Amino acid sequence: MAAPVAAGAKAPAQQKVEQRVASLPEGMTRQALLQALSGGMPPADVDAVTTALADLSPAQQKELANLLSKAGVSATASPRADAGAERAFLFKAIAGGAKGATLKRLAEQIRGRPPTNQAFSFNPLSSAATKRTASASPVDAAAAKLKAAMDDIWGTDEAAVFEALEGLDPALLPKVAEKYQKLTGTSLQDALNLELEAGDLKRALAAFEPQVPVATTAPVKTAAKVTAAGTVSTSDIQKNLDAIQVTSRDEGTVQRGNAVELNNLIPINVASWKPPKAAIYNPLKEAVKERNEAKAAFDKAPAGAAKTAAQAKLDAAEKKVTDAGAKVKAWLKEHIGANPELTQATAAVKHAGEQVATLEKKQAKAKVPKDPEAAETLKREQKAALDAAKAKLTQAQAHQTSVKDGLLARIDAYTPMVAVPQTRSDVTVDGTTVRMRDGRETAYTNLWKAVDGGAVAGDSHTQVDTQLEKSGISEDRQKILASISGLEGTFSKVNTWDTGRVSWGFTQWTLGKSGNGTLAEFMRDLKKTDPAQYEKSFGKYGLDVDAKGVVLTRADGTVLKGVEAAEAIRTDVKLAAVFMAAGADPAMQQAQIKYANEGKITETRNRSVKVTGKDASGETVKAKLQLKDVVTSEYGNAILADLEVNAGRGGSVAADALEAYVKAKGLDPAKVDEWGPDAEKAVIAALEQASRKERLRHHAKAGFSKEPGSFVS
């Protein structure tokens, strides 16, 4: 138990945060943060803001200071008493990820708004921005989301209202309504009647009606014609695919940062790169966004002075794009050695060089015959062999140079901004409708025609919490999986835009580079443990899996395997929709939880680690430990599981760190209970080093304890 804090004394947590804020550069930002802390803003929130400030560029930090200085100023420039509230709003927005043009827009929209007796709320990204804590119950989370959605200073966020209501287990709705009334003093139905109208109101109130099965057109039944191997006949695959309804809409062309060329040049992402890929790309993405806004403003501006001013802003925005693109180019040149083709060419040079060196060494040691003719023959043979080896080395070096020159030429020709067509598709699979878009821009996008989407109903973060509660796993495991889901997505979420080819589910299992990734492993497990569910969700559409990876049987009988199958699924709207629709099935949602819990938490914790230490007498001793012997805190288990989910490396990184720690300290493996807590710090440090910063910040906000023994399995 923590020591009591003396009356009038500040808690250690607050003192620590104050010290951290005080270390910031002198200026408005530091002053405003100190005022917010003394004004009652929770230390944890202030600490989160201080951490987020590190991600702002110098220009963005300067702009923030300017925005803070204007807080509390109305349209007539008269100071008001709202400065503190507006500054707190801006700080919470920063902690939520807002910066640059987004932050400026938010500041402009709240300036001169309601006085301090009306709270501000940050909701720039619709329902996705509503903060959820992994430990919050589905009832509390839904009520909080509804309150945030209907308290939004820009008006009601209808999408967030629908997500909260439709993603909720109907049995929990009365409790949500009760919780909402406690939070707001208004009944939920009254609030909906006040905030919504027409079709939106009808849709929201439908959640309160008894759930009656809706008659639909009869879905195509799972094929009766099954071969001895258990596969669906091609004629039935065709029928089932024909029954999938697709409605697509052209949404025009949008300027995007050129993520695709970036990722085609350097597909991998290394967390230890400084800066890592996302940090170098995101400023370009932000600059292109600002340019698009400036272009829209220019197009709307009337002729004359307004047009001239808009042109100046557009020119400045386009220069920012050029400057950000130049930084991406420089980064690409610095890391071009990570390009797979160049890596392969470099390895070939190394191998050829080793062959030459080995041959030279072998020839130097060769015994020369006494017979002059035999000696001359040996000399000729050695020269021929060495010349051939050197020729291979020269050829490999020439190829390496050619590859590198070609890549550098591509980098020099890199266009930082490209026009990307946008298409939205609504697809209905056996009564479940999913929505997807192509052209999704992220720091890791490598194909503009790839899609991103999920079910329009029956799947949400609230649904994740509800299904976790129903799963029966421990609260700590629920908390870890909920936090990871907050980064990865929900049960029906599919994206096909990165090296994972096809990523699916609330921990985003992937088909991977070979078509035999973690998603193929999930499919194999489901096929074995629940063949009926497997057939219902995947088999009837020609989707299968074997020991080597995913298998796709086309309606014409063509069979694709591995990479070919993964690529076909990746670019086929109907097949992507099949995965999305499967994730909206409650039975599949429980299957996902079971597999993630066992594979990402239990198996990783149970990983065996060979260690070499010393016993009490100083003798070398070898033993086997498990990661769970040392990683015993909530936080340690959370980032261990997260790195396993995100990069497949959590277990290996932790094992290497533990092995190195025991060896370096000369510890007795039998006394792990004594030195385990200190060892966990070393393991956590290694996991943090291998993890992406934005993921660590996310898990820190979830409130995981770092105390040894705090994880309850």
pLDDT band at 191 (very low <50, low <70, confident <90, very high): confident
Radius of gyration over every alpha carbon of the chain, rounded to an integer in angstroms: 30
364 and 396 housed in the same domain: yes
427 and 521 housed in the same domain: yes
Answer with the one of 263, 297, 330 that is the final residue of a domain. 330
Q: Could you tell me the sign of the dihedral formed by the alpha carbons of 393, 398, 399, 401, in that order? A: positive
93 and 175 housed in the same domain: no
What DSSP string describes 288-339?
HHHHHHHHHHHHHSPTTHHHHHHHHHHHHHHHHHHHHHHHHHHHHHHTGGGS
- Residues 494 and 576: beta-carbon distance below 8 Å: yes
99 and 195 housed in the same domain: no
Residue 471 inside a domain? The answer is: no
Residue 214 inside a domain? The answer is: no
Q: Which residues touch 44 (CB under 8 Å, ≥6 apart)?
A: 13, 17
CATH code, 178: 1.10.220.10
Q: What is the mean pLDDT of the chain?
A: 86
Residue 594 inside a domain? The answer is: no
Given a cut of 60, whether residue 210 has pLDDT beyond it is no
pLDDT tens-place string over residues 155-177: 566 777 877 887 777 778 888 88
- Residues 260 and 498: beta-carbon distance below 8 Å: no
Residue 433 inside a domain? The answer is: yes
pLDDT tens-place string over residues 580-631: 999 999 999 999 999 999 999 999 999 999 999 999 899 999 999 999 999 9
161 and 200 housed in the same domain: yes
Residue 477 inside a domain? The answer is: no
What residue numbers bound the domain in which 320 lies? 272-330
369 and 435 housed in the same domain: no
The pLDDT of residue 136 is 59
Which whole number is the average pLDDT over 548-560? 94
432 and 537 housed in the same domain: yes
For residues 239 and 218, what is the distance between their CA atoms, to the nearest angstrom?
13
pLDDT tens-place string over residues 392-409: 999 999 999 999 999 999
The pLDDT of residue 47 is 81
- Residues 497 and 452: beta-carbon distance below 8 Å: yes
The pLDDT of residue 198 is 61
Residue 7 inside a domain? The answer is: no
Using alpha carbons, list the distances in angstroms from residue 653 to 271, 649, 681, 683. Answer: 13, 6, 13, 8
Q: Could you tell me the sign of the dihedral formed by the alpha carbons of 65, 71, 77, 80, in that order? A: negative
Answer with the one of 94, 122, 150 that is the final residue of a domain. 122
For residues 254 and 424, what is the distance between their CA atoms, to the nearest angstrom?
13
For residues 386 and 351, what is the distance between their CA atoms, to the nearest angstrom?
14
Domain count for the chain: 6
Residue 266 inside a domain? The answer is: no
118 and 78 housed in the same domain: yes
Residue 706 inside a domain? The answer is: no
186 and 103 housed in the same domain: no
572 and 624 housed in the same domain: no
Answer with the one of 122, 138, 155 that is the final residue of a domain. 122
Burial state string for 683-695 with b = 16 or more CB within 10 A and e = fewer than 16:
bbebbbebbbeeb
424 and 567 housed in the same domain: yes
530 and 624 housed in the same domain: no
